[in-house]
Structure formats: structure tokens, C-alpha cells
Structure 1
Amino acid sequence: MTSSGTTSGDGGTTGAADGTADAAGAVGGPAWELLLPAAGAPARRRGRALQAALRDAVRSGRLAAGTRLPSSRALATDLGVSRGLVTEAYEQLTAEGYLRSDRGSGTWVGEAARAGLPGAPGPAPRISSTRVHFHPGQPDLALFPRSAWIAAYRTVLGDMPHRALGYPDPRGLPALRTALAKLLTRRRGVVADPDCLVVCSGVTQATTLLGLVAHGHGERSIGVEDPGSPVHGPVFTASGLGMTALPLDDEGLAMEPLRRSGVRTVMVTPAHQFPTGIAYSARRRVELLDWARSVDGLVVEDDYDGDFRYDRAPVGALQGLDPERVAYTGSLSKSLAPGLRMGWLLVPPRLLDEIAERKRTIDLGEPSLDQSVLARFVERGDYDRHLRRCQRAYRERRDALVAALAEHFPGTEVSGIAAGLHVIARLPEQYGPEDGFLARAARAGVAVRPLAQHEMTPTPQQSVRLVLGYAHLTPAEIARGVALLAGATTPAGGAG
């Protein structure tokens, strides 16, 4: 390379002879040896190799933002390549933003390059101290039927005609809608016309679609159960709707507050209310549908865990009583895996066109291959076999949790145990107050969720009320977690 820091004919400068930045900020000397491998590339690839080497030097920080580069003539001489290659490299990287060129003052590493540099070391990643968590709503992902799913995938991919990989019907593939309609009719007692079934990416998208349609009809608020699911708020807000909290009683949604609320759309979990575990009574189901007819309204039924019943016959879906007034939704998130992002929405015929059009504009429909795999999985009976396996495992885990609570927290009231993937545990008052209990549990490495986190209108409580999920834990993990919890949360006034 050149040995002086003089200005070259095209405005750049060469660097100091020792390869360090000179007073003007230029870099020269042996520092440019990082470009030598590019210069030695085959002639046809030399230009691109030089560009890639320069680009990498800027990205990696070896050429810092603000560094002045040698002139194209000087760099070409030092590398033993044509000046045209260097000029072309400078122009290309200037166009991409890695370099900037000021007429009469040379070529510099651009400021935008800072975005590609590693930042200052941040705090070390926080390692969770949680040893056992009882968060609700999580299935055991280790139970996912990988072999059967892979077999269905291979068969479908081998049999699928090329045209089936085009844009699908936004409502879903006819084969899957037919298979799901038969499944839901048989297992959940719904009235399932395949033409009124829309395949969607989970209950979240189903409620988004319904919220957008409701907003388009002039609705500005939707009634929700209190306590209920905390995930509904952001979904309805994104649809332009507010939420009206509606209390529960022993039979389900309390009717008088609903009648006074002024809402015309309400979202409920009647088969297994989340999180309390209440199954709506027959009388309350009839009252709820009478209300919907009287206000020309709509009931949205979230059947989030309708496949898991342990000590009684399954409670049929509300939709089966009045398909004109109930929109029914469910998903694979609890039965197979939430990562599949697949669910369904049965809508009254009067709303079908609007829902399908909303679905089309959001994402043009669910992936055809995934839909075909699920259709085959259901048609061959693999889904039913998987549910029976999960049913046995989750019942065993529920029993393990109830037994552990009885052993370590005698006097605890446990409810919601006949179905689902979680229970409500109301501990004796001596374990309160709740804030102190939760803090001690966290220090012991046990994550639990209080019922209060699901309440829109908190109510004063003396006792500790917990929503305990168990499906994702083995019986041994459940026993260990409850024992840890008991060891750290002695009754108030005791040693701890």
C-alpha cells in the first residue's frame, strides 16, 4: 500500500504507513489485508468478492462508522486489481448505505453502518428461578402424536395434486370443514353445517373476526364474563370494541346485570367457565338464549377445553340449542398444541359472508397443507385416539393435584375438577393475606396465578384463591411443586 497520507486524485486519502488511522481518520497500511482474499478470487467473481469483503468489514465493525477510505486508485494499486473494480465496489456500497461519498472530500463509512454493529454489553440474561409453575391453560406438549402426524403429513404431501397448493377457500378446505363438522357434531353436540364453518388460526382470530363484524354493525362494546380470560381485552380492543364486565352466579352468567348492560353481543364459556369451572345450568342456558332473541343479539361460545371431561358425561355445546343465535368457536390449542395455530368458527348463516370476507382480507386463508393434514388426522380416527390418551393422562394428574393439596393444605376447597386442565383452590384463611403468600411462593421457585388476575372487578378476599394448571406437569412434578409451596408458605403467624 502507499506509505504516505497524501490526497489522491479522486478525493480519497491513503492511510498512515503503519496501518492505523491517520489524523484525518483514514485507514491504510496492513489493515487493508482483510481485502486481499477477495482480490485473489477468480476474475469473474473478484468484483463481488471485493464488495462482500468491504460489506462484511463494515458490518463487523472492523471499519467503524466515520472512517475515511483510501482512494479507488490507491486501493486498486495496493490490492493489485483494476481501479474499475474498486470504483464499482464503492458505488455499490454507497447505494446500499454502507458508505457515503462527499464530492471533493472522499469516501467514508456511513453512519447507518452503526445499526449493524454489536451494542454495548447489556445485563446478563436473567435465568428464571422457577422450579415448578402451575400456570393454567397449557397442555402437555410431550404428548403430541408425532408419529401419527408425520404419517399423515407424508401421505397428504404425496397425494396432494399441484392445484391444491394454490390459494385456498378463505373459509377452509372443504375436506377439513366436512371432517370438523362431523367431529363437532359427534363430540360436542353442535349443529354443524360445513358451509357455515370457517377454519381460522385459533380462537383469537375467530373472536377478532366476530369483533370486526360486530363493530361493522354498530356495536361498540361486548359483554364478557367476570372473572374471565385476560386475553380477550386486547383482541376486542383491536376490533374497536370495549368490554362490559358481567358477573357470575352459581348457575353461570348473572342475567339481571346482562339485561341492564345494553350490550347485544356476549362471549361466554358455558361448558366449563374459565376460570371458575362452572358449567352453566340448563335454566341459565335457556335464559341466555331468550335474552339473545329479545335483543336481536349474538352469543359467542368459546368451547376452549370441551374435549376433557373426567367424572361426568360431557356437557353439550350451547350452540346446539340455537345455531341462529350462537357463534361457536374452538381450537387445537388445548387438545394438540397451540403452536399449530388452527381453530374453527361456526357462525349463523346470516353472518357467514361477512366473516368469510374478513378472513379473506386478513390472510387469504389457512395453509392448505396443514389443513389437509388435519383433515386426514381426523378422518382416520387419530384425533380421537389422541384425545383418549390425553384424557387418561390429565385425569391422573388432576387426581395427583387434588391429593397433594389435601395432604399439604388440609381444608382447601377445590372446585372445577370435573373437567378441563386446571382447578380453583381456595386455601384456608390462615394462609393469607394473598400478596404475602404469592411472594413466599415465588421465593420458593413455585409460580402460581391468583384468581384475582382474571377479575375485571376485584372483590376483597381474606383467603388465598389460586388457579392451578396441571396438564403440563407429571404427577411427580405436581407432588413436588405442592410440597415446595407448602414448605415456603406456612400459615400466617407461623415460622417461615
Structure 2
Amino acid sequence: MAEQWATLGIDLHLEPTGPGLRRGLTDALREAVRSGRLAPGTRLPSSRALAADLGIARNTVADAYADLVAEGWLTARQGSGTRVAGRTVVPPAGTAPHPRERARPAYDLRPGGPDLASFPRAEWLKAARRALTAAPHHALDYGDPRGNPELRAALAGYLSRARGVRAEPGRIVVCAGFAHGLKLLGTALRARGARTVAVESYGLDVHFRLLAASGLHTVPLPFDRLGTDPSALSVADAVLLTPAHQFPMGVPLHRDRRAAVVDWARRTGGLVLEDDYDGEFRYDRQPVGALQGLDPDRVVYLGTASKSLAPGLRLAWMVLPPGLAEETAAAKGGVDTCGVLDQLTLAEFLTSGAYDRHVRATRLHYRRRRDALVAAVAARTSEAQVTGIAAGLHVLLRLPSGTEQPVLQAAHWQGLAVHGLTRYRHAASVVEPADALVVGYGRPPDHAWSGALDALCAVLPG
């Protein structure tokens, strides 16, 4: 049987804080074993690896392990590491999970999330100290609804340099994540009289629902090997696209179609909403520049720190045409919705060069993971094929016809969280359905990566 490895720290949400770190970690590990989340025989990470994931002292982890060995919950043998002791797992009475709670997966290959263990804590803390020290007192007051001025100035410089965006601080609105920005745009578009937004045939259903909640009808566009086909845009007032790296299909929008979308917007007065969710992460060449650079008066650029840093920061930004910038800021209710300290810290992170250094480091990290995934799948089977460009934090893994649901069921039995392509298909799409997995390689911490790959390969056909 393949060796089982625990996914502690980020994946099991073991975050001992405050006084009594040793006791907090010991209690959390004991409960994970008692409840069955850590199965008998599971090999735990080394004390060094787990300490690094949790951001605590190695001795604290070693002492917690020793306590649980003494109690009989764990075993420790030379050359075999620390493992969960063999025992019958009987959950305590009255601890049945709430019907809406889900058991945490052993391995998490869902798309859309970065490796949270790689968040640059030390550099972020330095930037926060510098930013807070330099901030004038009035910066801590109720803020501009467009966002902190220092952050908008820093974003204007960075986006122009790194993504080819034509930006100025007055046209930038900072928001609490991409979904928040899309909700604000939906409100502003509906107030302008818009009724229909064209979307990609495959995309995030939460985005479709947000637009619908604003009173906008979503119409899916055709899709082929060149990406989303804009030929049906005549029915729409706006279009939402992921042109640099289509999610989840993994292809860029062809240059002729980029031009066609901008031509449609100029001709009809429509708006293009450009979701540049992972534009910094291209591994085989320089990233494709933002579509917004072709016409900043017809294209709204949306970016986020969720993939490059962490979704928990709740920081995203929009670069908008002048009139729409005012309307979108007004849709925020006349107040800044993001914490000023995080905004000041991100501004300092950008202007100091720390953000560039972090992106370069994580770009190499994710490239190696993608290469390992492609190699592992190729070695395991010829019946599954990785498609899409070398970019972002996910791949599309094509499967033989009729196998998506059986593979997902097998993955569930393996304790592997992974998504099928079907869940991202718009309900009204006319695109021929295809069987595939959308595999994210960002989420697992380093100590769980090889185990996650093994679990994935174990469920593939062939």
C-alpha cells in the first residue's frame, strides 16, 4: 500500500496561537486522530516540516509528538518517522458532524488556491512595520471609497510595468476580492441600463450568480481551440473574459479574437470586463499583456492578490474608464471597504520590490509543481492528457469519454479533493460537453505534494 502522508498545518487548519502552543497543538493532533481525520498508520510530517508550516518552534512540535507517543496516540520508530498508532477510531458520542459540514480531504487539488505556506510572512511583516511607521495619522481615518491613495498609486505603477495596463490612480478602485468587485460592477452596469452580460461557456458559477443577482442575464459564448468566440456578442451589453489564461480550459484568447472583442466594444459602446486572475504566472514565456492596454476606455481590468499572495487578504483592484470609476466607487456606499493597514502594507510591498521578488520565487515554485504533475501523469497513463498553456495554478486533465464521474468517485474514496470540468459549464452552454479534471497544484504544502500526486495518479484510468 502506498505510504499515507498527513496534510497538517494549512490543510487541517492546525493553527495553535496564543499561550500554550504545545498544549494547543497536542489537543488539535489528538482530536484529528480521535475523529478519524488522521487514519491509523498515517505518517506525520517531520517536526521541522510541520513547524515551518505552522510558523512555530521545532521544539514545540517535537514535544507535542512526544506527549502523544507517551499517551499511545502516536508511535515513533527510528527510520520510520512518527505515525498514527493503530487503533479503532470511535468518534465520541454527540460529535457527529453538522449536516452542512464536510470532512476535510487528505489531499487538496482543487483549483483556485495558492500554497498558503509560501506566503512571505517575514517580508510582509517588515513592510507592515515600515508602512505603519510612515503613515500619517489621518491615514487611519475613514478612507476614500476608491481605496487608499498610496496603494492606488503603487498599483498604477506596477500594473503599467508588469501587465501593460494603462492606469492612473484616479481610475483605480480597490475592493475586497474579485467577487466584491464584480458585484460592484454589476450594480453600476445595471444602473446604466445594461441587461445582458456575455460570459465564457466554462467559468465560475459564483460569477454567473453574482451577475444574475444584480439583475443581469448571462449568455454563454461559443468556445473552441482558439478560446472564447466573440461572434455572438451582438446580444450583450458587456462581456466577462479571462483572456490571458482562460479558466478552467487553460488557453489564452487568440490575438485575432482579442482585437475582435475590442472592436465590438468600440462599435457598440459595450464594455469588456477582463479578469486577470493569474496573469503574472506564465512559465514558458513572458506573460501576455493585459487586454485593457488595447483600449482603456472600453475595457475594465480586474486583478487580485488572491493567487499571488493569499485570498485571506481580501484585496483586489479594478482599473476603470473615468465615468465608470466614479459610479463603481459610489456603489461601495461612499466608504472604503478594505482595511487601511493591509492596503498600506501592500503599497509598501509593491514599491519596495518585495512583491516582484515574491512573484519570481513563487513562479519558479509553481512551475516545478506543474512540471512534476505533467511528468507523473505521463508516466502513469496514456489515457489522460494535460492540456492548456504552461501558466497559472491549474491544469486541465482530459479524460476518456464517460470517465469523469467514476474518476471523481474514486478520488473521493482516496480522500482526494479535485474538481471535474462539468461543474464549471454554464447551464445554457451549447459547447459539446467533455470529460476532464480541473487540477489545482497550488494548495498542498510541500510535505503533502508528493502524496497528492500519488493519490491523483492512483485514480486515473489506465
> Which of the five TM-score ranges fits, normalised by the shorter chain?
0.7 to 0.9
1:16-415 equivalences in 2 (<5 Å): 121=94, 123-124=96-97, 128=103, 130-259=105-234, 262-361=235-334, 363-415=335-387
C-alpha separation in 1, matches of 2:356 and 2:218: 36
Match of 1:484 in 2: 455
C-alpha separation in 2, matches of 1:315 and 1:488: 34
2:413 is equivalent to residue 443 of structure 1: yes
C-alpha separation in 2, matches of 1:144 and 1:486: 28
C-alpha separation in 2, matches of 1:418 and 1:358: 37
CA separation of 1:127/1:227 partners in 2, compared to 1, >3 Å: closer, same or farther? closer
Are the aligned partners of 1:397 and 1:475 in contact in 2 as well (CA < 8 Å)? no
Are the aligned partners of 1:266 and 1:298 in contact in 2 as well (CA < 8 Å)? yes
Match of 1:418 in 2: 390
Q: Which of 375, 378, 403 is matched with 1:433 structurally?
A: 403
Local SS of the residue matching 1:328: strand
Q: 1:411, CA displacement in angstroms?
A: 4.1
Q: 1:146, CA displacement in angstroms?
A: 0.7
Are the aligned partners of 2:195 and 2:237 in contact in 1 as well (CA < 8 Å)? no
Q: 1:134, CA displacement in angstroms?
A: 1.2
Are the aligned partners of 1:409 and 1:427 in contact in 2 as well (CA < 8 Å)? no
Match of 1:468 in 2: 439
Are the aligned partners of 1:448 and 1:466 in contact in 2 as well (CA < 8 Å)? yes
Percent identity, aligned pairs only? 45
C-alpha separation in 2, matches of 1:378 and 1:161: 19
Are the aligned partners of 1:208 and 1:239 in contact in 2 as well (CA < 8 Å)? yes
Aligned Cα root-mean-square deviation (Å): 2.1
Local SS of the residue matching 1:231: helix
Q: 1:460, CA displacement in angstroms?
A: 5.7
Q: 1:158, CA displacement in angstroms?
A: 2.5
CA separation of 1:273/1:489 partners in 2, compared to 1, >3 Å: closer, same or farther? closer
Q: What one-letter code is carried by the residue in structure 1 that aligns with 2:158? A: L
Local SS of the residue matching 1:138: coil
CA separation of 1:426/1:210 partners in 2, compared to 1, >3 Å: closer, same or farther? same
Q: What one-letter code is carried by the residue in structure 1 that aligns with 2:331? A: R
Local SS of the residue matching 2:279: coil
CA separation of 1:151/1:299 partners in 2, compared to 1, >3 Å: closer, same or farther? same
Which whole-Å deviations, capped at 9, do the CAs of 1:317-345 have from their partners, x for residues lacking one? Answer: 00000001000011100000000001110
Q: 1:438, CA displacement in angstroms?
A: 1.6
C-alpha separation in 1, matches of 2:176 and 2:287: 25
Local SS of the residue matching 1:344: strand
Q: Gaps spanning 5+ residues in structure 1: where?
A: 1-119, 492-496
Local SS of the residue matching 1:467: strand
Q: What one-letter code is carried by the residue in structure 2 that aligns with 1:449? A: H
C-alpha separation in 2, matches of 1:285 and 1:459: 20
Residues 132-141 or 433-442, more deviating: 433-442
Local SS of the residue matching 2:252: coil
Q: Gaps spanning 5+ residues in structure 2: where?
A: 1-92
Q: What one-letter code is carried by the residue in structure 1 that aligns with 2:442? A: A
Are the aligned partners of 1:400 and 1:479 in contact in 2 as well (CA < 8 Å)? no
Which whole-Å deviations, capped at 9, do the CAs of 1:79-102 have from their partners, x for residues lacking one? Answer: xxxxxxxxxxxxxxxxxxxxxxxx
Q: What one-letter code is carried by the residue in structure 2 that aligns with 1:467? A: V
CA separation of 1:459/1:318 partners in 2, compared to 1, >3 Å: closer, same or farther? closer
C-alpha separation in 1, matches of 2:315 and 2:290: 20
| Bigger radius of gyration | 1
CA separation of 1:160/1:296 partners in 2, compared to 1, >3 Å: closer, same or farther? same
Q: 1:127, CA displacement in angstroms?
A: 7.1
Q: What one-letter code is carried by the residue in structure 2 that aligns with 1:410? A: S
Q: 1:234, CA displacement in angstroms?
A: 2.4
C-alpha separation in 2, matches of 1:144 and 1:371: 16
CA separation of 1:366/1:476 partners in 2, compared to 1, >3 Å: closer, same or farther? closer
Which whole-Å deviations, capped at 9, do the CAs of 1:421-451 have from their partners, x for residues lacking one? Answer: 000011345xx43222221221122222111
CA separation of 1:448/1:358 partners in 2, compared to 1, >3 Å: closer, same or farther? same
C-alpha separation in 1, matches of 2:461 and 2:161: 48
Are the aligned partners of 1:170 and 1:366 in contact in 2 as well (CA < 8 Å)? no
Q: TM-score, normalised by structure 1?
A: 0.70
Q: What one-letter code is carried by the residue in structure 2 that aligns with 1:392? A: L
Q: 1:474, CA displacement in angstroms?
A: 5.2
Local SS of the residue matching 1:244: strand
Are the aligned partners of 2:116 and 2:445 in contact in 1 as well (CA < 8 Å)? no
Residues 218-227 or 326-335, more deviating: 218-227
Are the aligned partners of 2:176 and 2:337 in contact in 1 as well (CA < 8 Å)? no
**Residues paired across the two proteins, number:** 366
CA separation of 1:232/1:314 partners in 2, compared to 1, >3 Å: closer, same or farther? same
Q: What one-letter code is carried by the residue in structure 2 that aligns with 1:405? A: V
C-alpha separation in 2, matches of 1:486 and 1:393: 21
Q: 1:490, CA displacement in angstroms?
A: 4.8
CA separation of 1:274/1:489 partners in 2, compared to 1, >3 Å: closer, same or farther? closer
Q: What one-letter code is carried by the residue in structure 2 that aligns with 1:205? A: H
Which whole-Å deviations, capped at 9, do the CAs of 1:265-306 have from their partners, x for residues lacking one? Answer: 010010111111111111111111111112110000000001
Structure with more contact order per residue of length (Cα contacts < 8 Å, sep ≥ 6)? 2
Residues 221-230 or 320-329, more deviating: 221-230
